[in-house]
Amino acid sequence: MVNFMKLVQNENMKIYRRARTWVMLGIILVLPVLLSMLLYFASNSDETITGFSAMQLDGFLLTFLITIFSVVLAAEAVAGEFTWGTIKLLLIRPWSRSSILLSKFIAVVLFSLLITAIGFLVTFLINMAFFGATNDINEYIPELNAGAGVLFNELGHLFWLNYVTTLVIIAFAFMLSSALRSNGLAIGLSISIVFTAQLWSHLFLMIDKPWIKYVLFLHLDLTQYANGRGGPIADDPLTLGFAISVLAVYFVLFNLISWTVFRKRDVAA
């Protein structure tokens, strides 16, 4: 166990020694501050901009960037070793391939959790500083009273729902990273899923078949199930629990493929 933790630590060191990682962290820190400042000054002439709507906007933008940043790291986690020619040096060490793969996955997940936590706290604190606890949350959730605690919980719910999606996309990107030798190809294909998910969702919704409820793309936006909403299929309402269950199956499947491919692939070339 101690040796495995050292392996995870080594993978984390690879991530945080790169300048790109600190640029990502800097963006997560600075972006909500700049955006909230713009919204605050815009609210002088537009009274519809309030604390809750500002937090929502910041939250959606940040969770999208968090997904992109996490996908970039996940997609190059294994493929990057082939691109840089370091895969043989990694495999000759006294660790199994399964341990190496798991340590890489854990390191990427830890990074995604870190930037999610930072994004959440910065978004909450900066909007509380600019807008306070007085907000328009009752317009969206009438049964709740406005207040800092309510804002904290609702913003946390938004980040949590989006992080579940991020985790599944990380698993998909990690699968491509394990299967492909090209760093750039793994990153490109993974990011394309993020940008085209809504398009694929709309295309599948045009198919009037019961099996479409199990399609991955329809459940990548879990916010469509928030507050009792029935999801993307109008005539077949679904629940948040069902959507998470579908995503969990895909998450396990992607990781099984990653593990199988990485354990069996030939690295002699």
Looking at residue 140, its pLDDT comes to 46
Report d(CA 80, CA 103) in Å as an integer: 15
Q: pLDDT tens digits for the chain (269 residues)?
A: 667 788 888 888 888 998 999 999 999 999 989 988 888 777 665 556 667 778 888 888 999 999 999 999 988 888 777 777 777 777 677 778 788 888 889 999 999 999 999 999 998 888 888 876 654 544 444 434 456 777 788 788 888 989 999 999 999 999 988 887 777 788 888 888 888 888 888 888 888 788 888 888 888 888 888 766 776 776 777 888 888 999 999 999 999 998 898 887 766 54
Write the CB contacts of 58 (distance below 8 Å, at least 6 apart in sequence). Answer: 31, 32, 35, 36, 123, 126, 127
Domain layout of the chain by residue ranges:
2-264
Measure Cα distances from 179 to 68, 114, 256 in Å: 20, 27, 12
Q: What is the pLDDT of residue 163?
A: 93
Whether this model's pTM surpasses 0.75:
yes
State residue 143's pLDDT score: 38
